[in-house]
A and B are shown apart, each in its own frame.
Chain A
Amino acid sequence: MLRTNYGRQVKCRLMEEFRVTNEEVEWAAAETFKRAITQVPPDVLRSLELAVAEETEPIAKQCLQMMLRNAEEAQHNRVICQDTGIPVFIIEAGPGVTFDSGLRSAFERGVERVSREMDLRQMAVHPLTRKEYGYNIGRGVPIIHFRMKEGFPLVRITAIPKGAGSGTWGRVAFLQPLEGIAGVKRFVLESVVTAGSNPCPPTIIGIGIGGDLEEVALMATLASCRPIGSRHEEDDIAALEDEILKLVNEVGIGPMGLGGKTTALAVNIEYAFTHKPWLPVALNIQCWTGRRATALLFPGGRREIV
């Protein structure tokens, strides 16, 4: 008891003012979820525009132009895609931030409110009985991941609602360490060709390398929602991102799998050290809509959506 109290007091003294309320969390959950399903991020739009100029095949060009037109239509409060996905959120915060109890309920309220307002389809089901519980919520849904960020001065909540078309094609494998970089490339290329037309290309490909089973998958997911044009901070990894993107786009699957130069808009890699006998690798595919939106919560109550 004493120890608990002591711990609490220390925490409060360090970051006295940075308590995130459930009202703020509910706001962040609702606003990011809504933004993610109605607005294509600006970096993705720019990348699609560049792809239109690159493509020479009329069908590929027209598919990309339709995507851009649809993105424009959707921003007037309409969904980009009828599959608004399973709600997934990432919370990034540093030590010293406190959340109130009932955090999960705050996320649920945010998701339910948007689902109701926009007449979304109810998609969350029990995996075996296929029974439904609420409006896009249920046991463990929304899916919420915490990432601890040392020294992070604010709280970041990112919505990455996952669609079925692209989400189906995620993969994890434990390669032999000797397979090395060639093994990673083979894994990615085979996954992309297997997925083919199904995940609504051009995609954003997130790759996780290293860690263990759950870490490699989460790294792939985080990589898939990194902005297009953001290079990995280490030059050799950034070079590998460029190289794999070039290989993927040589496969020729093209927009909607109808052929062309643009199979992926970006390949993003995140990595962590791993166990000596392992080379875990994971891939998470994001469809062309690049669904993501982030809320920033600052100490003192300032909040914004980026």
Chain B
Amino acid sequence: MTGASIYLNTPLSEADARSLQVGDEVYLSGRVLAMCYPWQFIKMLDLRRAGKPLPIEMQGGVVYHCPASYVESEQGYRIRFVGATTSSKFNQWTPALIREFGIRGVIGKGGMDLRTLDAFRECGAVYFAAVGGCSALYTKGVASVVREIWPQPSRSDNVLELELRGFGPLLVAMDSHGRSLYEDVRRSSVQRLNEMLRALVKIDTPS
């Protein structure tokens, strides 16, 4: 989050995604798909593979790993709060989402794995990191709940289409050029851990 802020509208083009670099600060506007449970990803992929119509246009879309609370009012749905959930829960299905649906962006927290990074590089997509636990701030960037997809008995289980307005700040933490801040940090932390463990054995083992 060093240079000037970048303002983007969804859907994103491949050029949009490829123009972004790790470290860029981005504010997003437009429609995104809020998903937060594995079954939602599985259902989306199953529909596609069965050749059935999808409930939403996915090409150029952005998936937000986001559970939300909203209530019904006379003007439609009123958002109460949103927030980013742990993205690593969805590592298993995200590469397919990128390759088969043309998803260009993922918003979440905590980052995703190397297979996802490969799909980003191959297809042109990025990971937008939100700061976890910051519901009060990020909710301000959600203009409305456009609609519920596959309504469930419990509202918190629904996939939602959200309309964002200047949603951010988001940090590009994984880009389409093979860079992932998470991977950099993971590698150096594992190396540091191993050094520490070797030192521990030396100091604390009784001879």
Tell me if B200 and A185 are in contact (CB < 8 A).
Answer: yes
Q: What is the CB-to-nearest-CB distance from B198 to chain A, in angstroms, rounded to a whole number?
A: 11
Inter-chain contact A258/B173, CB cutoff 8 Å: yes
List the A residue with the shortest CB-CB distance to B185: A259
- Whether, in the assembled complex, A252 has its beta carbon less than 8 Å from a beta carbon of chain B, the answer is yes
- Provide the bound-state CA to CA distance between A196 and B173, in Å: 15
Asked if B132 and A258 sit within 8 Å, CB to CB, the answer is no
Contact B110 A197 (CB under 8 A): yes
Contact A82/B135 with A164-B86, A252-B192, A259-B185 known, Cβ cut-off 8 Å: yes
In the complex, the answer to whether A254 meets B134 with C-beta atoms within 8 Å is no
Within 8 Å of chain A (Cβ to Cβ): is B88?
yes
Q: Is A55 an interface residue (CB 8 A)?
A: no
Q: Is the CB of B136 within 8 A of A73?
A: yes
Complex alpha-carbon distance, A197 and B130, angstroms: 12
Which one of A119-127, A145-153, A211-219, A297-305 is at the B interface? A119-127
How distant is B158 from chain A, measured CB to nearest CB, in Å? Answer: 11
Which residues of A have CB within 8 Å of B90?
A: none
Please measure, in the bound complex, the distance between the C-alpha atom of A196 and the C-alpha atom of B81, giving whole angstroms: 26
Q: Are A82 and B82 interface neighbours, CB within 8 A? A: yes
| Complex alpha-carbon distance, A79 and B203, angstroms | 46
Using an 8 Å CB-CB cutoff, how does the interface string of B121-138 with A read, 1 for contact, 0 for none?
000000001011111110
Whether A59 contacts B23 by the Cβ 8 Å rule is yes
- Let me know if B110 and A62 touch, CB within 8 A: no
- The residue on B at minimum CB distance from A73 is B136
Contact A186 B185 (CB under 8 A): no
A residues less than 8 Å from B204 (CB atoms): 180-182, 185
> Are B88 and A198 neighbours in the complex by a CB distance under 8 Å?
yes
Beta-carbon contact of B181 and A80 below 8 Å: no
* A80-B189 contact, Cβ under 8 Å, with A164-B86, A189-B196, A257-B111: no
Most A C-beta atoms less than 10 A away, residue of B131, B171, B184: B131
How many inter-chain contacts with C-beta < 8 Å in the A-B complex? Answer: 156
Minimal beta-carbon separation of B142 from chain A (angstroms): 11
Interface pair B134/A70, CB less than 8 Å apart = yes
As a 0/1 sequence over residues 232 to 274 of chain A, the CB contacts with chain B under 8 angstroms (1 = contact) are 0000000000000001001111111111000000000000000
> Is the beta-carbon distance between A70 and B80 smaller than 8 angstroms?
no
Partner among B86, B171, B186, B190 whose Cβ is within 8 Å of the Cβ of A59: B171
Residues of A within 8 A of B188 (CB): 252, 259
C-alpha gap A74/B83 in the complex (Å)? 13
**Chain B 27-51: CB-based contact to A (< 8 A → 1; otherwise 0):** 0000000000000000000000000
B154–A122 CB distance below 8 A: yes
CA–CA, A267 to B36, complex, Å? 31
- Please report whether the interface of chain B is mostly helix, strand, loop or mixed according to DSSP: mixed
Instruction: Let me know if A82 and B110 touch, CB within 8 A.
Output: no
Q: A67-B133, A79-B135 are known contacts. Are A257 and B182 too (CB-CB below 8 A)?
A: yes
Choose among A59, A122, A251 the residue that contacts B189 (Cβ–Cβ < 8 A).
Answer: A251
Shortest Cβ distance from residue B196 to the other chain A in the assembled complex, whole angstroms: 6
Chain B residue at minimal CB-CB distance from A38:
B136
Residue of A82, A121, A181 with highest tally of chain B CB at under 10 A: A82
In the bound assembly, the distance between CA atoms of A31 and B184 in angstroms comes to 42
Task: Please name all residues of chain A whose beta carbon is closer than 8 Å to the beta carbon of B63 when the two chains form the complex.
Answer: none
The answer to whether B67 and A83 touch across the interface, beta carbons within 8 angstroms, is yes
Nearest CB to that of B88 among chain A residues?
A: A198
Instruction: Report yes or no: A196 in contact with B135, Cβ–Cβ below 8 A.
Output: no
A81, B83: Cβ atoms closer than 8 Å? yes
Is B117 part of the binding interface, using a Cβ–Cβ cutoff of 8 Å? no
The residues of A with any CB-CB pair to B shorter than 8 Å are 58-59, 62-63, 66-67, 69-70, 73-74, 78-83, 118-123, 132, 164-165, 168, 180-182, 185-186, 189-190, 193, 196-198, 200, 247, 250-259, 287-289
List 21 interface pairs A-B (beta carbons < 8 Å), by A numbering: A62-B1, A78-B135, A78-B139, A81-B132, A81-B134, A82-B68, A82-B82, A83-B83, A165-B132, A180-B204, A185-B200, A189-B196, A189-B197, A190-B197, A196-B182, A198-B88, A254-B185, A258-B129, A258-B173, A259-B181, A259-B188
Known: A119-B70, A165-B132. 13 other contacts (CB 8 A): A66-B134, A69-B134, A70-B133, A82-B135, A122-B155, A182-B204, A185-B200, A186-B200, A193-B190, A200-B132, A254-B185, A256-B109, A287-B132
